Amino acid sequence: MRIDSKGLIYLEDVPVETIAREYGTPTYVYEENRIRANFRRALSAFRKYYPDFRFFYAIKANNNLAVANILRQEGAGIDAASINEILLAKKLGLGGEDVMFSGNFLSDDDIKQGLESGVIFNLDDISILPRVLKYGKPKFLSFRLNPGYGQCEVGDFVCNGGPNAKFGVHPDQIMDAYRLAKEAGITRFGAHMMPGSCIRDPEYFRFITGLLMDNIGKVGRELGINFEFIDLGGGLGIPYKHEDKVLDIDEAAKQVSDIFTRKIAEYGLNSPRLMMEPARYFVGDAGYIVGTVHSIKNSYSKIIGTDVSMNTLARPAMYGAYHHIYVNGREKEERAAVGLCGQVCENTDFWVRERMLPKDISLGDLIVVENAGAYGYAMSYQYNGRLRPAEVLVNGDKHYLIRTRENIEDLVRNVSVPDYLTK
């Protein structure tokens, strides 16, 4: 993003006015070069300290195939949370060992299709293993450990590790889990965890890597398992508030590889590949929503009404998450405290209660919501007949529509009305 001397906003080199004119609002916009830069910065940091390193991209955060293809071109594999995400990976031309299936609380159908797909099977609980073995033997298996600790930026909402999380194998069960798998004749193993999201403290990554390695090290030593990869999950954080500190990615990589190599030596493991599967770090700060001010109310307080509603961006209403807002052409102007909301009939849609925004914000002004590239469109939904927005990719001064705005046909697409009700 760039703001010129008149306060006009550009995403890469495309004015937001062009986005609004060509595609309407609300529209998600992604900066291709920023995605690539984020990926390359992180990859070179980790490879600098541990050359046998690979990223998988957790496609749940932004499943637009244009965005995912950028990361595939950069060399990422795919972390899939469901069968449909394995099928999305297939549409990218990825399968086999380039895809990791980390579903949880799987149905028998999930298990059967997961096995048929031939991707790396990452099990979230020991109880899944016998169910998998009923249908076949995965070539490559890992377990997701819940290391007993997790952390997250938005309260407990996204804390995926520790006693309150639904995810992962309990440390007391991890030895038995791998033993059963080995006894069943499975020969290729990895290990995995995903205890938290949006962490900007390098020490956290060192700490959780130590926890995982202590558990996995004992398994390797006792069962003679040769782990081919260790996957530390995602969690690399971005600052949502401008005063928040940026994650020192070099320091995180250094801390992780330091503890990782020590633990490999301590437990006598053959150097496994080190993997992570971030999403937010790659796409979060490369995405924006362009919206329009449609209505302004002066009542108990002044409220600016925009077309960026809770169904467009769910995070503020769901987690109380903060997203910075810019107003096109007014960034240099005087500010005043106002509220801002969307158009949905829920009061959680009053998603900015009070914020210093340009005082003269007016009807027709364009707003730009920052850090919307991860868990933005992917978590949008249809409510109140407010439909999902368009998605646009920008690269330099070029812009491409990468998902069409929904229309009324999308709202009724899967609906059928029994004949007698039409009479």
- Residues in contact with ligand LLP by CB under 6 A are 58, 61, 79, 102, 154, 158, 194, 197-198, 233-236, 277-281, 315, 374-375
Supply the minimum distance, in Å, between the C-beta of residue 194 and ligand LLP.
4
Note if 345 is an active site residue.
yes
Q: Which residue type, as a one-letter code, is found at position 185?
A: G
- Residue positions counted in the chain: 423
Helix (H) or strand (E) holding 352: strand 352-358
Phi, psi (rounded to 5 degrees) for 219: -60, -45
Supply the minimum distance, in Å, between the C-beta of residue 294 and ligand LLP.
26
Q: Which residue is nearest to ligand LLP (CB)?
A: 234
Supply the minimum distance, in Å, between the C-beta of residue 318 and ligand LLP.
8
Is 256 in contact with 206 (CB distance < 8 Å)?
yes
Is 287 in contact with 274 (CB distance < 8 Å)?
no
Is 330 in contact with 360 (CB distance < 8 Å)?
yes
Residue number with CB closer to ligand LLP (144 or 254): 144
Residue number with CB closer to ligand LLP (65 or 378): 378
CA-nearest of 400, 372, 392, 359 to 308 is 372
Supply the minimum distance, in Å, between the C-beta of residue 214 and ligand LLP.
21
Is 86 in contact with 64 (CB distance < 8 Å)?
no
Residue number with CB closer to ligand LLP (365 or 391): 391
Supply the minimum distance, in Å, between the C-beta of residue 58 and ligand LLP.
4
CA-nearest of 295, 365, 353, 269 to 326 is 365
The residue behind tokens 């992917």 is 378
Residue number with CB closer to ligand LLP (26 or 358): 26
Considering the candidates 152, 198, 341, 345, report the single residue annotated as catalytic: 345
Supply the minimum distance, in Å, between the C-beta of residue 167 and ligand LLP.
8
Q: What angle do CA 4, 9, 15 make, to 5 degrees?
A: 105
Residue number with CB closer to ligand LLP (316 or 358): 316
Q: How many CB atoms lie within 10 A of CB 295?
A: 12
Q: What angle do CA 108, 114, 119 make, to 5 degrees?
A: 160
Is 14 in contact with 399 (CB distance < 8 Å)?
yes
- In order of 256, 338, 359, 376, the CA distances from 335 in angstroms are 43, 9, 5, 27
Residue number with CB closer to ligand LLP (247 or 374): 374
Question: Active-site residues: which are they?
Answer: 345
